[in-house]
Copies of this chain bind each other. A is one copy, B any other.
């Protein structure tokens, strides 16, 4: 598995034939691959130990080390995740639409694999097994480019997966890992037109930006979330506090956490002290505009820079507005197209917000934290798309599929 990128690409194209397997064969293979990971746990933990030792030597931050760390329990979780994907409905082959034309042509729109999917991610070895499971289930060959800090962990995991495939007589190149860690190879990977049907970056805003800027293959942007909650004049203020507390503090550092509040000036005098009290208990730092600070002088000031920030931290910016339109305009100016919520008892205001705020998910009276494939009932999640093409919002298995028109004729020619 130390091929050049060109060789990996060539083998990936040949491996596309594996997708002829039945849904049942794919599910059984995923279960076998889960068993294989457990059987190979020693070797995986050894590889991970090498990565961790180097990470410590290089002074990697504690939080990142934790994401890199594997344990027996975490390997078991990876295997469980693969079994869950195995149990999901197989979307491939479904006929989505049937058209009958006056000339007798029967046209079926059928769900098919994308072909070859590239995934580029950071030093999180659990993504390796996860990405393979989702791609294999949808009949896609996957080429993985993980963070170099996780290279030995990833190599051990991918070896295990490929061994399972080989044992079952399946082309093991259905999954491959790019071992070269230099920047040139990464750039070349983003430009494998003719091989990659899509490239999905999973990770930080910086990684995603780099992919968007350098890739010539189609990309699905995921993940950046500067999510707002707007508290309307008619809001139930207790509900507002509950939703804000949940969206800010239930899990910090995730893309669907709330990063910014927008508050109608009529309710600010009552709401801000309640909020300040509640969030203080969670050590959340508030950064407000002048009007907010006038009502709550303990609050720090917000600068222009704060409105556009995805803190991923215990910080929340606070903007006051004179009306709903101002709130909508502020959100549309600064949001990242992820998840936005209004708290209101006014149906017309709710509808206006839902219609006019431009984001993948718009909520009335609920926490932004629900933007998640599992919470939506998809049973799996590839990521949260913040772009508008192909897939928007939480992506389930269908986001890894394309369609194909299959046309049945009996000699029709065009006149």
Q: Give chain A's interface residues, CB within 8 Å of chain B.
A: 16, 20, 99, 101, 105, 107, 114-115, 193, 197-198, 212-213, 216, 218-220, 236, 239, 242-243, 245-247, 250, 354-356, 358-367, 369-371, 375-377, 387-390, 392-394, 402-415
Contact = CB atoms under 8 A, between A and B. Distances in A.
Q: Is the interface of A mostly helix, strand, loop or mixed?
A: mixed
B114 A370 contact: no
Given A389-B220, A404-B392, A242 B197 contact: no
A219 B410 CA distance: 36
Contacts of A355: 20
B218 A370 contact: no
- 5 tightest A-B CB contacts, nearest first: A366-B409, A246-B413, A388-B402, A369-B414, A390-B390
A367 B20 contact: no
Contact of A362 (B212, B404, B413): B404
B250 A387 contact: no
A389 to B, nearest CB: 4
A216 B220 contact: no
Given A218-B218, A365-B411, A360 B404 contact: yes
B114 A412 contact: no
Nearest to A238: B411
Contacts of A387: 197, 218
Contacts of A369: 413-414
Contacts of A371: 405
A351 to B, nearest CB: 9
